[in-house]
Amino acid sequence: QSVLTQPPSVSTAPGQKVTISCSGGNSNVGNNFVSWYQQLPGTAPKFLIYDNDKRPSGIPDRFSGSKSGTSATLAITGLQTGDEADYYCAAWDSNLGAVVFGGGTKVTVL
């Protein structure tokens, strides 16, 4: 059971928008920054979003992050088949003194 809660899967058609939710509590999402990672099949995770809504160099602006209270959201617009992957949210947990991850959301492009 992951500390952060994500839906197991989401799907939509190419070119459309998909959103992935990440729900936590006051000790993590509510009072600390959220990040997001993309894991393509059979590969290592890739850094996608940090500080709730910032993109590292090289990440296209089709990927965006937001946070409100104890929930965060990753949005992907203009969905492409190459975006099919597992997406994980993460945040520092002040009570645990460690980074906690969500269980991951599998994005399928129909």
Partner 1 sequence: EVRLVESGGDVVQPGGSLRLSCATSGFNFRAHYLGWVRQAPGKGLEWLGRIRNKANGDITDYAASAEGRFTISRDDSENSLYLHMSSLTTEDSAVYYCGRVFKSQYVDFWGQGTQVTVSS
- The residues that touch partner 1, with contacts defined as CB under 8 A, are 2, 32-33, 35, 37, 39, 43-47, 50-51, 56, 86, 88, 90-92, 96-104
Q: How far is the CB of 101 from partner 1 (least distance, A)?
A: 5
Cβ proximity to partner 1: between 16 and 51 the closer is: 51
Residue 22 CB, nearest approach to partner 1 (Å): 12
| β-pairing verdict for 85-93 and 105-109 | antiparallel
CB of 82 to partner 1, least distance (A): 19
Task: Specify the residue, 24 or 102, whose C-beta has the smaller distance to partner 1.
Answer: 102
Q: Minimum distance between the CB of residue 79 and partner 1, rounded to whole angstroms? A: 22
CA geometry: angle 26, 27, 31, nearest 5 deg: 65
Q: Judged by CB, which is closer to partner 1: 73, or 102?
A: 102
Nearer to partner 1, 2 or 23 (CB): 2
Mode of pairing for the β-strands spanning 9-12 and 105-109? parallel
